[in-house]
């Protein structure tokens, strides 16, 4: 077993590359899911009933699907319809759309609880349209939704591991291939878990910092 860790240490570079891919995927997913989630949330709060209900149904349906199935569908299922992505694009788009639906629900909740008076003050002081959203709504949404988005980020990081089954060379993929090549499953998987754990700790520490900032900027 100790020898196993020796082998893992000798392949540190591969683990590091896998970790880098995992972080890249998680970061890109977070950005895409946040933007898409905000758009979906805005549509869920639309004044047009048809838009509101159809987007609401889509978001609810998406949240009922296991992520693994969605990844399979995008990578293996869509080519049947003539839509073909490589493994990276399939993985990233599946992650982004799937988590955008969770983010949409978080943002919608935070948005509908924002004090209307402060948005009205924005209108009274000359803000409208995108400027109103960007300067008045978004900062308040950010501080209201940050803790839950932070939580969602942890789920995003863990869901990137599913992409190994569609051959994206992220951390779990690397751990799996090293253990298969050198028969060191315990050391290899333990090491990968430790790396996930460290990344999650960093995410949680940043969320705590944002929460502290939100505390001084709370409504009132």
| Residue 208 touching other proteins (CB under 8 A) | no
Cβ proximity to other proteins: between 73 and 119 the closer is: 119
Give me the least distance between CB of 125 and other proteins, in Å please: 4
Min dist CB 107 to other proteins, Å, is 16
Instruction: Say whether residue 212 binds other proteins (CB under 8 A).
Output: no
Question: Considering beta carbons, is residue 12 or 125 the nearer one to other proteins?
Answer: 125
Return d(Cα 11, Cα 173) in angstroms, integer.
14
122 or 169: CB nearest other proteins: 122
What is each CA distance from 113 to 61, 69, 105, 132, 196, in whole angstroms? 24, 33, 13, 17, 34
By CB under 8 A, residue 47 contacts other proteins: no
Comparison of 85 and 142: residue with beta carbon closer to other proteins: 142
- 97-126 positions binding other proteins, by CB under 8 A: 115, 117-118, 120-126
Ranges within 126-185 binding other proteins (CB under 8 A): 126-129, 131, 135-136, 139-140, 143
Q: Which of 82/220 has CB closer to other proteins?
A: 220
Alpha helices, DSSP H, located in the chain: 2-10, 12-44, 49-63, 67-72, 87-112, 116-124, 129-132, 138-159, 171-182, 185-216
**Count of residues near other proteins by CB under 8 A:** 24
CA distance 149 to 106: 7
Show the tokens assigned to 34.
């946040």
Burial class from Cβ neighbours inside 10 Å (0-12, 13-18, 19+) for residue 100 reads buried
Residue 156: alpha-carbon gap to chain centroid: 4
What torsion, rounded to 10 degrees, do the Cα atoms 50, 55, 61, 62 define? 170
Q: Which residues bind other proteins (CB under 8 A)?
A: 115, 117-118, 120-129, 131, 135-136, 139-140, 143, 216-220
């Amino acid at each position: 077993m100790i020898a196993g860790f020796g082998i893992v240490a000798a392949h540190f570079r591969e683990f590091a590359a896998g970790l880098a891919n995992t972080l890249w995927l998680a970061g890109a997913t977070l950005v895409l899911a946040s933007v898409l989630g905000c758009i979906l949330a805005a549509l869920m709060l639309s004044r047009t009933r048809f838009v509101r209900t159809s987007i609401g149904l889509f978001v609810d349906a998406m949240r009922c699907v296991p992520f693994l199935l969605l990844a399979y569908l995008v990578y293996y299922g869509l080519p049947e319809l003539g839509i073909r992505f490589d493994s990276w694009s399939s993985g990233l788009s599946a992650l982004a759309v799937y988590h955008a639906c969770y983010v949409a629900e978080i943002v919608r909740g935070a948005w509908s609880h924002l004090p209307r008076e402060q948005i009205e003050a924005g209108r009274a002081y000359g803000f409208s349209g995108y400027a109103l959203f960007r300067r008045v709504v978004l900062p308040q949404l950010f501080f209201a939704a940050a803790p839950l988005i932070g939580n969602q980020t942890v789920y995003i990081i863990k869901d990137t591991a599913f992409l190994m089954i569609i051959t994206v060379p992220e951390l779990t993929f690397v751990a799996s291939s090293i253990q298969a090549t050198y028969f060191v499953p315990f050391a290899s998987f333990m090491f990968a878990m430790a790396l996930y754990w460290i990344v999650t700790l960093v995410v949680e520490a940043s969320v705590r910092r944002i929460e502290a900032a939100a505390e001084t900027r709370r409504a009132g």
